[in-house]
Amino acid sequence: MAPLLTLQDIHLTFGGEPLFEGADLSVSHGERLCLVGRNGSGKSTLLRLAAGEIEPDQGERFLQPGTTIRTLAQEPDLSGHDTVLDYVAAGLAPGDDPHRARYLLQQLGIGGDERPDTLSGGEARRAALARVLAPEPDILLLDEPTNHLDLPAITWLEGELARLPSALVLISHDRRFLETLSRATVWVDRGRTRRLDRGFADFEAWRDATLEQEERDHHKLGRKIVREEHWLRYGVTARRKRNQKRLRDLEALRRQRRERKGPAARVKLAAVESEASGKRVLEATALAKSYGALAVVKDLSLRVHRGDRIGILGPNGAGKTTLVNLLTGALVPDGGTVTLGANLEMVTLDQRREALDPDETLKDALTGGGSDMVVVDGKPRHVVSYMKDFLFLPEQAGSPLRVLSGGERGRLMLARALAKPSNLLVLDEPTNDLDLETLDLLQELLADYSGTVLLVSHDRDFIDRVATSTLVAEGDGHWQDYAGGYSDMLRQRGSEDRPKPVKKEATAPASSGRENRQRKNAGNKLSYKDKYALETLPETIEALQRDIAALQQRLAAPDFYAENPEGFEAAAADLSAKQAELAQAEDQWLELELKREEAQEGG
């Protein structure tokens, strides 16, 4: 069946630098396609080309006659409509279900009768999402559709998109979202596109193998040029007619090497750590906070120790940022107390980038103004050198912050935060607008960080990778503490997505999840089966770790993929299976160890 939409040999230049030099894209009926690539690689521009919003300098766009396309706008315009429902309904075509507009708005937390000029930026984005979903078009082009959505809404959106017959082209920093929905992947890289006919879950292994093969080919090219240059100097004289072709071939090889674009530079992330804090970072006792009749926090008791990485989860409006401000002493509670530990040095990254003055220059935002030096770990460093670590160009030093993209603003906030010494990082939605590779580096940084982290995020994969425990809003001001990340929380709660309300005991105040579990399990003894598993699991874990290390070493062999692609795929699948087994074994050991400790405390 012919594709619905085709982009072929697309060339486009912005600001003197080519953005695309021969990019291609095709979208067929019902296809589930994700676009991936670095910030600034042109993913959003490629969507705009696909939608017909901009014209390429060169190349062809073909759309099958009668095909309908809807594009999620990054900054939607709701003007000209009396209500939000009118705005969404205006996107419907004759014959579409008129009730679907209100249904989608309600699922996204908007009544529909609001005036468009009263909506926040996040609410306007959700209204725009309802508008593109309502008519069920042939092709949906979605650029960061999960922005401003909480976890229940993201889970709902996954189900809604999976049900739609529309072809999807997705851009997202949410790995779990891409893994769930994508069936093919297009990598936007150095002005071109490369397609993998598998979903995002298989992309990174394929990308790494592709880059390794490219590096080997470049090395072979260099060696061939050296041999030819040796012939030129010491071989048969180059003036003879029969050798002129060889000379031209050598010049072509040199030109190929000069014009090669290497892999894009990586962000260099490193946190400046201060002296260690005390063992107990903070302790909250019977914490309470309300705004009128709305209870944000009720009777929360919690201890946070040095090295803990606490993920804070909950729907929009649950009070996650308020809770963080209470725990860090930035907000006074209505009831209860918060005691901060000794020697704390806290650095905060806020989700709305409110600390950024749009009229300030990039250089002044990093240096504080009036200097060319930025202080990193107490030592002066030239601002341009530090900018390069976060992929900013030297000529951007004098640019006002208002011209920066969302990804650039996110990198700037990281650059400012990580330059300051800290032993407590407070990160409120740090993953917003960051590309997947920068998220990988941020995750590695947090894993190696010896201080304490309070992390608010809707990114399920990032929470799974980073958090040692999760604090979850369960409704009506109650917060529950769970060991592990997002997936661990779901298993412990026996829930797939939506929080369950906490039943408050009439005779005792609510407290932290750890204390609740201690009361629940006090006096319980391990069964013989549990004791046997607790004794044997460490050996199982070590064996799995050895198998994983061997498979990783095998996959890292330079010629493995080129010589045996099927063997490489089988080894990669085996590695994924072993890693899943390891995660399950570690989870089982952790649960049994907690059960053993709680039984001892209750005995």
Same-domain status, 309 and 352: yes
Per the domain annotation, does 523 fall within a domain? no
Q: Is the pLDDT of residue 595 over 90?
A: no
Residue 303 tokens, joined: 């201890």
CATH number of the domain to which 42 belongs: 3.40.50.300
With CA atoms as reference, report the closest residue to 50 among 102, 3, 85, 98: 3
Q: For residue 274, is it within any domain?
A: no
Residues 373 and 453 in one domain: yes
Question: Which of 48-62, 275-289, 419-433, 505-519 has the lowest average pLDDT?
Answer: 505-519
Check pLDDT > 50 for residue 574: yes
pLDDT value, residue 248: 64
Q: What is the DSSP letter of 93?
A: P
**490 and 371 belong to one structural domain:** yes
Reported as a pLDDT band with limits 50, 70 and 90, residue 572 is confident
Looking at residue 11, what is its pLDDT? 95
Task: Let me know if residue 521 belongs to a domain.
Answer: no
**445 and 272 Cβ atoms separated by less than 8 Å:** no
Nearest Cα residue to 467 out of 479, 491, 449, 494: 449
Q: 369 pLDDT band (50/70/90 cuts)?
A: confident
Least confident of 85-94, 179-188, 201-210, 508-517: 508-517
Q: What is the pLDDT of residues 165-191, one digit of tens each?
A: 999 999 998 999 999 999 999 999 888
Of 487, 513, 539, the domain-final residue:
513
Total of domains in the chain? 4
> Would you state the pLDDT for residue 509?
35
195 with 225, same domain? no
Distance, CA of 205 to CA of 249 (rounded, Å): 35
Domain final residue, candidates 184, 204, 224: 204
pLDDT for 264: 57
Shared domain check, 333 and 310: yes
pTM for the structure as a whole:
0.66
Query: Does residue 334 surpass a pLDDT of 90?
Result: yes
Rounded average pLDDT over 101-106: 91
Range of the domain at 591: 528-602
Asked, for residue 265, whether it belongs to a domain, the answer is: no
Largest CA distance in the chain: 102
Predicted confidence band of residue 274 (pLDDT cuts 50, 70, 90)? low
Q: In angstroms, rounded to a whole number, what is the distance separating the alpha carbons of residues 527 and 510?
A: 30
Residue 185: predicted pLDDT: 95
Quote the pLDDT of residue 204. Answer: 87
Q: Please check whether residue 51 lies inside any domain of the structure.
A: yes
Of 28-42, 219-233, 496-510, the poorest mean pLDDT is in 496-510
Q: Residue 6: name the closest of 53, 59, 70, 72 by CA.
A: 59
Percent of the chain at pLDDT exceeding 70 = 81
pLDDT for the residue numbered 68: 93
Q: Give the pLDDT score at 243.
A: 63
Model confidence at 518, in pLDDT bands (50, 70, 90)? very low
Is the pLDDT assigned to residue 98 strictly greater than 70? yes
What pLDDT digit, counting tens, does each position of 475-495 carry? 889 999 999 999 899 888 875
The mean pLDDT of the chain is: 81
Nearest to 89 by CA among 118, 120, 130, 126: 130
User: Which pLDDT band holds residue 399 (cuts at 50, 70, 90)?
Assistant: confident
Q: Among 162, 184, 204, where does a domain finish? A: 204
| pLDDT tens-digit series, residues 67-83 | 999 999 777 888 899 99
Confidence of residue 351 (pLDDT cuts 50, 70, 90): low
pLDDT at 563 over 50: yes
Pair 76, 223 in one domain: no
Q: Give every CB contact of residue 378 below 8 A, 6+ residues apart in sequence.
A: 421
Predicted confidence (pLDDT) per residue in 420-467, tens digit: 888 898 988 887 777 787 788 788 888 888 889 999 988 898 899 889
In this prediction, residue 504 carries a pLDDT of 32
Query: What pairs with residue 338 in β-bridges?
Result: 284
Same structural domain, 52 and 180: yes
Residue 499 has pLDDT above 50, yes or no: no
Does residue 200 form part of some domain? Answer: yes
Each residue's pLDDT tens digit, 304-315: 999 999 999 988
Same domain, 368 and 463: yes
Where is pLDDT greater, at 297 or 219?
297
First to last CA, the chain: 69
Is 488 inside any structural domain? yes
Mean pLDDT value across residues 361-365: 88
The CA–CA distances, whole Å, from 231 to 228, 236, 247 equal: 5, 7, 10
pLDDT for res 137: 92
Q: What is the pLDDT of residue 70?
A: 94
Q: Are 216 and 200 in a shared domain?
A: no
430/459 same-domain check: yes
Domain assignment present for 268: no
> Is residue 366 located within the same domain as residue 439?
yes
Average pLDDT estimate for 326-349: 89
> Are 403 and 463 in the same domain?
yes
CATH of the domain at 571: 1.10.287.380
